[in-house]
Amino acid sequence: MEIDKRILELREVLNYHSHKYYVEDAPEISDFEYDALYRELEKLEEERPDLITPDSPTQRVGDKPLEGFKKVLHAVQMQSLSDVFSREELLAFDRRVREAIGDNTEYVVEKKIDGLSVSLIYENGVFTRGATRGDGLVGEDVTQNLKTIKSIPLKLKKQLPLLEVRGEVFISKKDFIRINEEQESAGQQLFANPRNAAAGSLRQLDPKVANLRKLDIFIFNIQRIEGESLETHSDTLDFLKELGFKVSPGYKVCQDINAVWDEINRIGDERGDIGFEIDGAVVKVNSLSHREVLGSTIKTPRWAVAYKYPAEVKETVVTKIWVN
């Protein structure tokens, strides 16, 4: 087969298997088989560097550290959430929503991943820029570190002219433990929690270091989109899944605030058993047109709240005091 056809075939096959492994957690081939195909692509791209494309899996880990991070302006503000800490406050939120848009409100409840928010821009279906939330208007360009996250598709299944999505970057509980063991054996500062480890890793200037930290991400919002129109948030999450993203795990559509409260308690009960840290549950009005009616304050939407769980009692990380 000609080299250009083989390179195209390998790129598609490798991206397919990467999606099965990192997004669906349902690998179809062994790591050994994947690595053999990957090495074949690397060799062919060495022969024909003119055929390398930005969505090739070989382009995920850059080889030169950055001097610093460029500031970027978010075209759409990355809002923050107002917190509620009790059932009474949750009911007050529901009353305000129903006063504004009537009683047939549907909510979506998602786990609140305890990581850091980023936005990803795709132009003509290709990942072109990723940035931290920053203050919601100005963030930092961390594109090359985000490319190391294998569950971020470098090319979408649909070629939309423009798509900007938002997600939460996190490090799993088990990778957090591994990283701190590595930090300790390297005589480096330990990270206090997975959120700090994710933030520190995303702000690594050297993408090879970021790549070792095994960052991951859940996508939960469309910031901007051209070429598709959606009615509800649950449709949005399903659409994002079709495009190849890893979306909020186990989100639930609830018909009223009592069902929301039950879901909040169910998530709270399973918190210790899931592989990543959550610090709450996010409650969002499902209808996008209802959201328009409710609007937002300067920084937070009136159509969503974060219910925060009491901080878990956890063993603190003992920082070693070196006694000479």
Ligand X SMILES: NC(=O)c1cnc(OC2CCCC2)nc1N
Q: Does 248 bind ligand X (CB under 6 A)?
A: yes
Which of 215/282 has CB closer to ligand X?
282
Cβ neighbourhood burial of 30 (10 Å; 0-12, 13-18, 19+): exposed
Query: Cα-Cα-Cα-Cα dihedral of 196, 202, 203, 205, to 10°?
Result: 140
Which of 61/288 has CB closer to ligand X?
288
CB of 218 to ligand X, least distance (A): 7
- Please pick, from the candidates 45, 140, 168, 216, the single residue that binds ligand X as defined by CB under 6 A: 168
Binding segment for ligand X (CB under 6 A), chosen from 8-16, 46-54, 105-113, 124-132, is 105-113
Is 111 an annotated catalytic residue? no
- Please pick, from the candidates 11, 17, 19, 112, the single residue that binds ligand X as defined by CB under 6 A: 112
- Please pick, from the candidates 81, 142, 171, 215, the single residue that binds ligand X as defined by CB under 6 A: 81
- Please pick, from the candidates 221, 232, 236, 287, the single residue that binds ligand X as defined by CB under 6 A: 221
- Please pick, from the candidates 176, 220, 245, 261, the single residue that binds ligand X as defined by CB under 6 A: 220
- Please pick, from the candidates 113, 156, 198, 254, the single residue that binds ligand X as defined by CB under 6 A: 113
Q: Does 211 bind ligand X (CB under 6 A)?
A: no
Binding segment for ligand X (CB under 6 A), chosen from 20-28, 69-77, 108-116, 188-196, is 108-116
Contact 79, 134 (CB under 8 A): no
Binding segment for ligand X (CB under 6 A), chosen from 91-99, 110-118, 130-138, 253-261, is 110-118
Which of 220/261 has CB closer to ligand X?
220
Contact 63, 287 (CB under 8 A): no
Instruction: Name residues whose C-beta falls within 8 Å of residue 32's C-beta, 6 or more positions apart in sequence.
Output: none
CB of 221 to ligand X, least distance (A): 4
Question: At which residue do the structure tokens 């590595």 appear?
Answer: 182
Contact 306, 83 (CB under 8 A): yes
Q: Does 240 bind ligand X (CB under 6 A)?
A: no
CB-based burial, 290-310: b 16+ in 10 Å, e otherwise: bbeebeeeeebbbbbbbbebe
**Selected catalytic residue, list 111, 112, 150, 252:** 112
Contact 175, 213 (CB under 8 A): yes
Could you tell me if residue 134 is left (phi over 0), alpha (psi between -120 and 50 degrees) or otherwise beta? left
Contact 87, 261 (CB under 8 A): yes
Q: Does 282 bind ligand X (CB under 6 A)?
A: yes
Query: Cα-Cα-Cα-Cα dihedral of 258, 264, 266, 268, to 10°?
Result: -150
Q: Does 109 bind ligand X (CB under 6 A)?
A: no
Q: Indicate which residues carry an active-site annotation.
A: 112
What residues make contact with ligand X under the rule CB under 6 A? 79, 81, 110, 112-113, 168, 220-221, 248, 282, 301, 304
